[in-house]
Amino acid sequence: MTAELNSFAWLLDRLAYEPRRNGKLALITDYFRRSPDPERGFALAAMTGQLRFANAKAGLIRALIAERADPELFALSYDYVGDLSETVALMWPERHGAAGHNRPAPTLAEVVEALLTTDRRSLPALLAGWLDALDETGRWALLKLITGGLRIGVSARLAKTALAALGDLEADDIEEVWHGLEPPYAALFAWAEGLGPRPEASDPAPFRPAMLAHPLEDEDFDRLAPADFSAEWKWDGIRVQAASGLNNQGRRVTRLYTRSGEDISGAFPDLAEGIGFDGAIDGELLIVVDGRVQSFNVLQQRLNRKTVSARLMAELPAHIRAYDILYDGAEDVRALPLAARRTRLEAFVARHGAARIDLSPQLSFDRWEALAACRADPAGAGAGPDADAIEGLMLKRRDAPYLPGRPKGLWYKWKRDPALLDCVLMYAQRGHGKRSSFYSDFTFGCWRADDVLVPVGKAYFGFTDEELAQLDRFVRKNTINRFGPVREVAHGAEAGLVLEIAFEGIQRSTRHKSGVAMRFPRINRIRWDKPPHEADRMQTIETMLAAIEARTAAPSP
């Protein structure tokens, strides 16, 4: 296969239109098998989100197209297409006879290396030359590479699975060595193809693939025995893996990873700096203030930050509630049964005594009915004022080893039933990527006491493709105003559409006009049968908030 960027572009184009997982897997594996190093390594890096270009940003792309096309035409086209890369790729004019027009298309490796090394002032001319040399699909792939938003339905896990399929490996084998390696992964490809040894990263605090749970279904209870399982709270934070060890120079390296392996240590230096153990534990990242676990909305104030102020760290201290151990010192304990790992974890936490790390409590039960009662009333089952930070239960087989991925029959998550509100659709905005031609982002509201609708949230999932088409038709037929890509739809007492919204929690917020913020809102049902005036009122939300605040105000035990 040729090493030109157009070959990578062809792959991305095929992946974008291939709906089947196995079809995508075959396309990627075939590309890896036919492409040379370092092309395939940089392709893997792109699909796994490992490429970052400090000087190449979306603003540069907008500036270039403004020089080649009518800005008003671009604005109208971008509004309709909804994707910057696709719009520019389609609109970029051919420059027949221009200097450099007949230059060969760059390779993927040439593009990546140039983007990493070219200074900000030289980049516009370089990028314009590439766009002149590439065809429409090649331009689209180049711009997707720069913006980092491939949106081709390929997860990092699927790309690693395709790499493993080059030989006799599993995706988990790739995961075990992935962290600590850097593009273009020549040694990794050689190992996958049986042409080289297993790469050994020297990272003293690597990420280990996380074990995940299946949702618990009603029919599962008939085949599961309570005695075989332990249970604990499912905390409403984010999954975190804390790994720490000494490097070759004797310096301690500590990292905090999300369940997908993203390093978030920089956002939580207060937590990372307090970890002095050798090993790796699995737990939940939470904000704990005055001994109480805060809501996920509070945690969000600490997430996705490159830097964090001393004031924010003092006001919202980070905490790990540990529920598993992967490495005890240099010993890999993942093959031990859960019961044995729990004993090791308890001793590990007690031995190291980190102020910001404690144990997630286990629940005592002998019947499923008793556990259901805990799920329905966490406060009464021992969670006390932390009850509002609990989103359900985790069930884990006592004899289960810690396995990467989502093995069947070992771990289950039993989430609490979501809260529901009937809301009125107020505004709609077109989506991106495959949804760019549909109105798929919906803002909804509830009635105030003076019969005025107030926006209370926004949802963009929870519906089927058929329901999306129905919602899109409703928006187009009932538009009463337009604000760029946003349409205002009819939403009076009699004319409008009611949406049943499911959500995991709600709290007061000064950032929203309604004064509230929902946690994970999604469209649960379209209430074609319900008139808008029968939708819920803000008083209903106030009642919910009052109940939450009453529990929070209760004294600590």
CA 9 to each of CA 2, 16, 28, 387, 547: distance values in angstroms, whole numbers, following the listed order: 12, 11, 12, 50, 54
456-471 pLDDT, tens digit per residue, is 999 998 898 889 999 9
Highest averaged pLDDT of the listed ranges 55-59, 150-154, 466-470? 466-470
CA 380 – CA 7 distance, rounded (Å) = 60
* Residues 155/161/165/171 CA torsion (nearest 10 deg): 170
- The predicted-structure confidence for 288-335, as pLDDT tens digits, reads as follows 999 999 988 789 889 888 789 999 999 999 999 999 999 999 999 999
Tokens of 401: 């080893």
In degrees rounded to 5, what are phi and psi of residue 223? Answer: -115, 5
Tell me what pLDDT residue 515 has.
85
Q: What is the average pLDDT across 20-28?
A: 94
Token readout for 414 is: 């039993």
The closest alpha carbon to 138, from 2, 13, 1, belongs to 13
Inter-residue contact 241 to 325 (CB < 8 Å):
no
Cα 461 from Cα 521, distance rounded (Å): 9
Provide the greatest CA pair distance for the chain. Answer: 80
Q: Is 411 exposed, middle or buried (0-12, 13-18, 19+ CB in 10 A)?
A: buried
CA 490 centroid distance within chain: 33
pLDDT of residue 94: 79
pLDDT tens digits for range 76-108: 888 777 788 889 999 999 765 554 456 788 999
Per DSSP, what are the bridge partners of residue 443?
Answer: 427, 458
Grade residue 403 by pLDDT with cuts at 50, 70 and 90. Answer: very high
Q: Where in the chain is the domain with CATH 1.10.3260.10?
A: 5-147
DSSP state of 51: -
Question: Where are the domain boundaries for CATH 3.30.470.30 in the chain?
Answer: 214-415
What is the H or E stretch that residue 320 is in?
strand 318-328
Q: How far apart are CA 71 and CA 50, in angstroms?
A: 33
What lies within 8 Å, CB to CB, of 517 at 6+ separation is: 297, 457, 506, 507, 508, 509, 511
What pLDDT does 552 receive? 61
Say if residue 387's pLDDT is above 80: yes
Asked if 244 and 205 touch (Cβ cutoff 8 Å), the reply is yes
Q: Residue 3 — very low, low, confident or very high, per pLDDT cuts 50/70/90?
A: low
CA pair distance 306, 301, nearest whole angstrom? 12
Helix (H, G, I), strand (E, B) or coil at 531: coil
Q: Is 45 helix (H, G, I), strand (E, B) or coil?
A: helix
pLDDT category of residue 1 using cuts at 50, 70 and 90: very low
Does the pLDDT at position 2 exceed 50?
no
Amino acid letter, 179:
H
What span, in angstroms and rounded, lies between the C-alpha atoms of 364 and 62? 59
Lowest-confidence segment of 101-105, 143-147, 148-152, 362-366 by average pLDDT: 101-105
Kindly give the pairing relationship between strand 214-215 and strand 411-415: parallel
C-alpha–C-alpha distance, residues 35 and 162, integer Å: 13
In percent, the amount of the chain with pLDDT more than 70 equals 96
Q: Is 402 left (phi over 0), alpha (psi -120 to 50) or beta?
A: beta
Full DSSP string of 197-218: PPP----SS---PPB--EEPPG
Q: What top-level class would CATH report for the domain 214-415?
A: alpha beta
Burial class of residue 415, CB neighbours in 10 A (0-12, 13-18, 19+): middle
Residues 464-520: pLDDT tens digits?
Answer: 888 999 999 999 999 998 887 789 999 988 889 999 999 887 888 877 778 888 888
Of the two residues 2 and 40, the one the predictor is more confident about is: 40
Both tokens assigned to 168: 């006799």
Q: Indicate the angle between helix axes 108-117 and 123-133, nearest 10 degrees.
A: 170
- Tell whether the torsion through CA atoms of 305, 306, 312 and 314 is positive or negative: positive
pLDDT at 76: 84
Stretch 411-432: mean pLDDT, rounded? 90
Question: Residues of 43-82 as b/e, b for ≥16 C-beta within 10 angstroms?
Answer: bbbbbbebbebeebeeebbeebbeeebeeeebeebbeebb
Average pLDDT, the chain: 90
Query: CATH says 5-147 is which class?
Result: mainly alpha
Residue-wise pLDDT for 242-287, tens only, equals: 999 999 899 999 999 998 888 999 999 999 999 999 999 999 999 9
> Helix-strand-coil percent breakdown of the chain, rounded to 5?
40, 25, 35
Which among 171, 150, 152 is positioned nearest to 162, based on CA atoms?
171
On the question of a cis peptide bond just before residue 555, with omega within 30 degrees of 0, the verdict is no
* Section 213-218 average pLDDT: 91
Pairing mode, if any, of strands 453-459 and 439-447? antiparallel
Q: Is the dihedral angle over the CA atoms 327, 329, 331, 333 positive or is it negative? A: negative
pLDDT in the model for residue 257: 94
- Amino acid, res. 77: S
What is the pLDDT confidence band of residue 554, given thresholds at 50, 70 and 90?
low
Q: What is the CATH number of domain 419-546?
A: 2.40.50.140
pTM of the model: 0.75
